Structure 1
């Protein structure tokens, strides 16, 4: 069952109220930035907001300066898992996975230009690798582009 994303203003209102009810202050722009950054992916937004809530002391303020540290904490917590998953990928899939991650929203991935830009063997090997990555849920296809499914994995990979 697909549920539509929670509207940003409703999510902001809920988060600010939740912090306030627990004697904490949440700067509304934190919610706005995270909502946009994770393209209304509620799971990722909720995970970061939960970490921010835990790291905000009673009567403390959660501001923008806490956001990157919270995201880094989450990514570092699962870094070993991401490293192991990447290690277990066949080499061609790993190369295509990294290329898609670098693109963000990768379009025309079966083109010669995409292969050349990322030093990939051929469009046919990209197609084969993409099928494997889709089967393993490492990437997803949305309309006319591919992207890394796990946003935290994507952020971890970008730092490697």
Structure 2
């Protein structure tokens, strides 16, 4: 509606660790997905998703937020430890739970290192998917070089997790503050 550029990065352009290993990830089709093939997490203890987009593709002078868009299917392991979320090399870092129910607790190093929001749980979208905010950034009006990098990690806990279906990472322009 604002005329600003927004994107959804397909899982095929994301770097998903172990996504080419059938015992860890399965590539499936869902009619409600924007993409023909999306990954379903079967079971991993090292959960890492990274994405990037050229900064030149974004609208100048715009506030953006990036979101992991996903569903849960018989999910386990995500209720105990939060995932680490980031946008940009020097951008925002935060933690959040991907499971709607939180059973774990934040460790002292997480509280010190990451921005801790009151809302650590995912938000339901109108399209039936869940989203977890990775962070935000503001684009300037000059020549924009380089890539915007985003990540979703849970590599500290060492426990097994599964049941996540990834639609992609959405980069959405935010309405201006009035």
TM-score of Structure 1 vs Structure 2, range by shorter chain: under 0.3
Greater relative CO (CA pairs within 8 A, separation 6+): 2
Q: Is the helix fraction higher in 1 or 2? A: 1
TM-score by length of 1: 0.22
